[in-house]
Amino acid sequence: MARAAGLRAEAAHHGALYLRLLGAQVRSQATYRTALLLDALGTMLITAAEFAALALVLPRFGGLGGWSLGEIALLYGLAELAFVLMDLLFGGFDAPNLSAHVRAGSFSTFLLRPVPLVVQVFGSDFALRRVARIGLAAAVLGYGLIHTAHAWTFGDALLLTGSVLGMICFFGGLFVIGGTLTFWTVDSVEAMNVLTYGGRTLISYPMDIYGQWLRKTFTYVIPAAFLSYFPVLHILGRPLPDGLPPAAAFLSPLVGPLLLAAAFVFWRVGVRRYQGTGT
């Protein structure tokens, strides 16, 4: 009991430290409100233009691989919402951000402070401009929910919630892996962008429109198909590919945390091997 109480107190203390770091980030960025507003607007316009182009073109072809605009909006909104939330939480681990600290030598100061390293990295990059994208992603997801011919149930809501949480953990894990690699490479590894930003784009659309080798790679090698594609297929009453059982649609809350746990094991290895850059 005493140990459990101690762990709870320690977790509460670390949570308070994290919130204080976020507060400092927010106050710093809110100082220049016009710049923040323009930055947020520009970030929103990129996503809005991407989906608007799809919404304008797709009706002319009657769908995409048998998927209606509403069904694709469901996939797109899920992926965008999860990725933006992940980017808010794990932005400090993103390779370009972490590699800047490694190059400048400021990462070494993280190791000297009497604050857990992970808490510092989590609180080192909280971009307010990304918050605007949450509303836009929610709007796209809402469009998909309304324009999908399906009688929604509470079980469907739980399945989609688990899908979002799984994607947050999955892509957060990829951010942690990409950031850890900078301990050896100093600069970010571009191949990781294929898995993070490329993977997010890939699962925003029905995976059956891709070639067989790409679909199988992102199903059995990199299990991105389990994150949102399989859950949406299950909700729409469509069979899963390759004869997979319906239970595979419920694995997103398991796949994501497993990758995140493995990523933090790799992170601990990287931190132990970190020797600085001499700056």
Measured distance CA(183)–CA(196) in Å, rounded? 19
Q: Which of the listed ranges 27-41, 101-115, 206-220 does the model predict with the highest average pLDDT?
A: 206-220
- Give per-residue pLDDT as tens, 90-137: 988 988 888 888 888 888 888 888 888 888 888 888 777 777 788 888
pLDDT at 164: 95
- Give per-residue pLDDT as tens, 140-197: 999 999 988 778 889 999 999 999 999 999 999 999 999 999 888 877 777 788 888 8
How confident is residue 10, by pLDDT bands cut at 50, 70 and 90? confident
Average pLDDT of 55-84? Answer: 85
Reported pTM: 0.89
Mean pLDDT over the full length of the chain: 85
How confident is residue 54, by pLDDT bands cut at 50, 70 and 90? confident
Measured distance CA(111)–CA(133) in Å, rounded? 33
Residue 113 corresponds to which tokens in the numbers above?
């402070």
Q: How many CA atoms lie within 13 A of 253 on its CB side?
A: 7
